[in-house]
Amino acid sequence: MTDLLVVLGVLAAAAAGLWAWRRYHPVSFWYGVAFPARAVVVYLTWHHVASGCKLTRNRRRFRLTLDAIPVVGPASRSAATVVEHKRRVRRVDVERAPRLGILRPTRLGWRMRLRLHDGQVPADYEKAAEGIAHAWRVHSVRVVDVRPGYVTLWATMRDPLVDVITEPETGELLTVRPGKLENGRDWVIDFRTVPHWLNAGATQSGKSNLANALIKGLAPQPVALVGFDLKGGVEFTPYAPRLSALATTRKESVDLLADLVGEVENRMATCRAHGARNVWTLPEMLRPVPVVVLVDEVAELFLMADRSEKEEVSKTATALLRVAQLGRAFAVHLIVCGQRIGSDLGPGVTALRAQLSGRVCHRVNDPETANMTLGDLDPAALDAARAIAAETPGVCIVAGQDGSWHRARSVFVPEREAEQAARDYAHLTPDWETLVGSVPVIDPAA
């Protein structure tokens, strides 16, 4: 009896220690205990899971078998039957699962590389990802890397986008961290790497919250912020202390876009005069202030009530497209937002979309908007965007110019915080007339 009590006491102490370890040091517990246990389960069940998801293949193998053949002699028909064993080589079909590589742990799950069977393609594993996730009791399984003959699956134990908390901004120029990616890493928007962004989303989907996060992150940086808000200025007027220019009507938009095109041409002339390919290779004393342009509702720039507005719409579309085409090299960046982005707005929208290499798609009300945002990049990203639930505001699909995509969620930034940041850093706002009125520096020897 005493020995039993001792054993029970040891087991209880071990269980309490494991609970405390998991509660207070979850990362080390995951790497030290939970992941090795999960790895054993994955390796032991992989063949069964692959068979259930129809990822196995039958391969023919030759096996040596012993066949028992009864031999009855003429003189011993009433006696016991003599059995003779003969060896035969038979061809049999063996079901084989894809070869599973080494499981590599991550903070939220694990990664594993699989070798494809002959005739298999990555799309087969994308279709089976949901079934694999249910079989392993994990949040999600996704194909994250494709190489000739191999795919890499990334399994996530839990959804990291339930509660999003980001670290303070790093202070790097034109870099903002508005939220978290599905892999647990910070969502980083670097305008020097991806210069222009398209942000699509329905009302209450998180589109405006992302704009708030971007304004709050860019406010302390030495950049000029320019706004286009054709909804009467109700969205961007509270941020006016930090905006160098704000257009709230179609006429103001035409004039402001003309100033932007002129500024781009001035910077182009300066770079040409000094033999620089872009403004970042200019001497620091000649380097102009970066400009970030925020367009709140792009459809308002392209819609017209009657034919009298046709000329203004044409000028707006042409100027905005020129800024998108030329702005990258000259530190003029675009963030174009919209609830409805479709080809019915005119060919200018499709041409503009092609220049916006960064894409953010929140929950949208119509399939065409999601298709315009992500359809030309990756069909799997389009399917993931259509699955965003209305109960998860801020969740979106982020796609960069490298073709990769991630589920992400922006941190909640109340409007009052963004407005306070605009007021706190109002002294950093460049004067727009001075900025666009400056004469480009020309080399006299040119």
Note the pLDDT of residue 263: 92
Give the count of beta carbons closer than 10 Å to the beta carbon of residue 399: 25
Taking alpha carbons only, the member of 373, 359, 369 closest to residue 402 is 359
Render pLDDT for 209-234 as a digit per residue (tens, 0 to 9): 999 999 999 999 999 999 998 888 88
Q: Which tops the pLDDT comparison, 113 or 400?
A: 113
The whole-number average pLDDT for the span 408-420 is 89
Residue 169 has pLDDT above 70, yes or no: no
Note the pLDDT of residue 147: 83
Is residue 180 marked as binding? no
Pairing state between β 196-200 and 224-228: unpaired
The whole-number average pLDDT for the span 178-185 is 84
**71 contacts 146 by C-beta, under 8 angstroms:** no
Tell me the domains of the chain and their CATH numbers: 83-158 (3.30.980.40), 175-437 (3.40.50.300)
Note the pLDDT of residue 171: 72
**334 contacts 356 by C-beta, under 8 angstroms:** yes
H or E element that contains 96: strand 82-96
Pull the structure tokens for residue 148: 């000739």
Note the pLDDT of residue 423: 93
In whole angstroms, what is the distance from residue 282 CA to residue 223 CA? 17
Is residue 206 marked as binding? yes
Note the pLDDT of residue 92: 53
Is residue 201 marked as binding? yes
The whole-number average pLDDT for the span 282-298 is 91
**Residue spans of beta strands (DSSP E) within 116-263:** 140-147, 150-156, 175-181, 186-190, 196-200, 224-228, 243-247
In whole angstroms, what is the distance from residue 51 CA to residue 258 CA? 62
**431 contacts 413 by C-beta, under 8 angstroms:** no
397 DSSP β-pair partners: 361, 407
Residue whose entry in the numeric block shows the structure tokens 């996730």: 133
Is residue 204 marked as binding? yes
The whole-number average pLDDT for the span 132-147 is 86
**Residue-averaged pLDDT of the chain:** 82
**413 contacts 401 by C-beta, under 8 angstroms:** no
Note the pLDDT of residue 351: 86
Residue 441 has pLDDT above 50, yes or no: no
pLDDT band at 323 (very low <50, low <70, confident <90, very high): very high
Contacts (Cβ under 8 Å, ≥6 apart) of 325:
355
Pull the structure tokens for residue 299: 């459809």
Give Cα 26 distance to the centre of its chain: 26
Note the pLDDT of residue 289: 92
Is residue 375 marked as binding? no
**326 contacts 259 by C-beta, under 8 angstroms:** no
Give percent above pLDDT 90 in the chain: 24
Note the pLDDT of residue 446: 42
Render pLDDT for 333-373 as a digit per residue (tens, 0 to 9): 999 998 888 777 777 788 888 888 899 999 888 888 888 88
Give the count of beta carbons closer than 10 Å to the beta carbon of residue 398: 24
Is residue 140 marked as binding? no
Render pLDDT for 48-106 as a digit per residue (tens, 0 to 9): 888 888 888 876 665 555 555 565 555 544 445 555 555 565 555 567 888 888 899 98
Q: What is the pTM of this model?
A: 0.76
Q: How many residues does the chain have?
A: 446
Note the pLDDT of residue 442: 46
Pull the structure tokens for residue 212: 């708030």
Is residue 149 marked as binding? no
**Range name among 61-70, 250-259, 400-409 with the lowest pLDDT average:** 61-70
